Structure 1
Amino acid sequence: MPFLDRRQPYPITLADGTPYRETVQLAAVIDHPRMEIGDYSYFTHSGRTEETATILAPYLYPFSQERLVIGRFVQIAREAIVITSSANHAMSGVTTYPFRVFSPQTIDGYRDLPYRDTVIGHDVWIGHGATIMPGVTIGPGAIVAARAVVTRDIPPYAMVGGNPATLIRKRFTDAEIGDLLTLAWWDWSLDRIERALPHLESGDIAALKAV
């Protein structure tokens, strides 16, 4: 039996053998035409499993133009939210009130508003209550602090926090980050990842390169 199972909706099993149902693997529980989700990425929330997509990205609709792209091994804490471009209102007029959405004949009248995909890279950790704003790209290995509001792109392996989120520090040197992006461990087979766990958890990049 593999130590991870991408088909398992509830990836955490408690010591008594019961599944912990508030942490879900996103790819196993979400079927949304505007979401692309990598394996082993999880989200913890207290809603119903079938509501996971709406809780995480409440303004991403089946008819939206933008996409939400989530990489592999992403970790998303409670109350985090991704606000996508479909939440935007037109701001060029006197009012921002979305009159057209209240009539079936004109509900598609805002499709000319600008939109951008929101991309969360591999192995990103999004802390409790963080907000990801429309159209940002979060690089692999980044950490978003609790309650941070991400309004701009985040480079790989950066730690950010605050409102708006700003750089706290880089997790590794530029050379090490280059090595990690080249290694792209998140694309390895599960067997290789399991063999590499001591090095993945210790931060021993030289040993990781030898796996």
Structure 2
Amino acid sequence: MEKNNYKNWSETKYLEDIVTNPLITVGKKSYYSGFYENNNFENGCVRYLWGDSSTRDLFNPEEDFGWELDRLEIGNYVCIASGVTILLGGNHNHHPDWITVYPFADHVKESFLPKGDTVIKSDAWIGMGATIMPGVTIGEGAIIAAGSMVLKDVPPYTVVGGNPAKEIKKRFSEEEIDLLLELRWFDWTEEEIKESEPILMSQDIHKLYEYYQQHIK
């Protein structure tokens, strides 16, 4: 089997071109680098989320059971590496507070509980082999180190790693983070971003803010 139609490890695919699941919303230019995986993004990287092509014809839990299904929201310019697992699907019908965690089929309808939407905000980078647990929000510009297990929200422009993932450092000073969250370069038009690429690929946040004030604001 070809590596999910990826020709080599350096090839990426824009999520907006490959996602069909109605419970996944994707911003512009966010990509998945899936060469090392044998499954596609919607049922390999994203797991237990009804609505991909393989589950759509089986049943509809919203209509059949009245479940409120969790969603996945991905912002603009998000980078997702091979081996990343994004877990969804609520509690998967397993109740740790019940006597048994076994999901007896006759009671599956009543056993489901949502976990809340999982949100990966713009310009985040999810490293190879990381796992994102249900209901987590990953802030703008955050970096998730390879192999991390993310159990709770990650603030903007923060690097986390480990199992469970813990903060390693802030990418920038608090003042610089505030400027980045104000100017939100990833929401600009493609033309505006193209013009500012030399600044974006530098460390000069104040220069980018000047550009924002002069040309964007």
Same fold by TM-score, threshold 0.5 exceeded? yes
- Paired position in structure 2 for 1:190: 190
- Paired position in structure 1 for 2:79: 75
Q: Which amino acid aligns with 1:97?
A: Y
1:40 to 20, 29, 37: 29
Matched, 1:29 2:18: yes
Paired residue secondary structure (2:201): helix
Q: Could you tell me the TM-score, scaled by structure 1's length?
A: 0.82
Mapped to 2, the partners of 1:48 and 1:21 lie a distance apart of 16
RMSD (Å), alpha carbons: 2.3
- Paired position in structure 2 for 1:66: 70
- Deviation of residue 205 (structure 1)? 1.0
Give aligned-pair identity as a percent: 41
Q: 1:85 touches 1:116 (CA, 8 Å); kept in 2?
A: no
Unaligned runs of 5+ in 2: 52-60, 62-67, 212-217
Residue deviations 1:86-141, cap 9 Å, x none? 353212212111122xx6xx543333x24211100100000000000111110000
1:57 to 38, 46, 55: 46
- Deviation of residue 149 (structure 1)? 0.5
Mapped to 2, the partners of 1:165 and 1:19 lie a distance apart of 29
Mapped to 2, the partners of 1:136 and 1:19 lie a distance apart of 31
Q: 1:132 touches 1:150 (CA, 8 Å); kept in 2?
A: yes
- Paired position in structure 2 for 1:154: 154
Unaligned runs of 5+ in 1: 1-9, 13-17
- Deviation of residue 155 (structure 1)? 0.3
- Aligned residue-pair number: 190
Q: Could you tell me the TM-score, scaled by structure 2's length?
A: 0.80
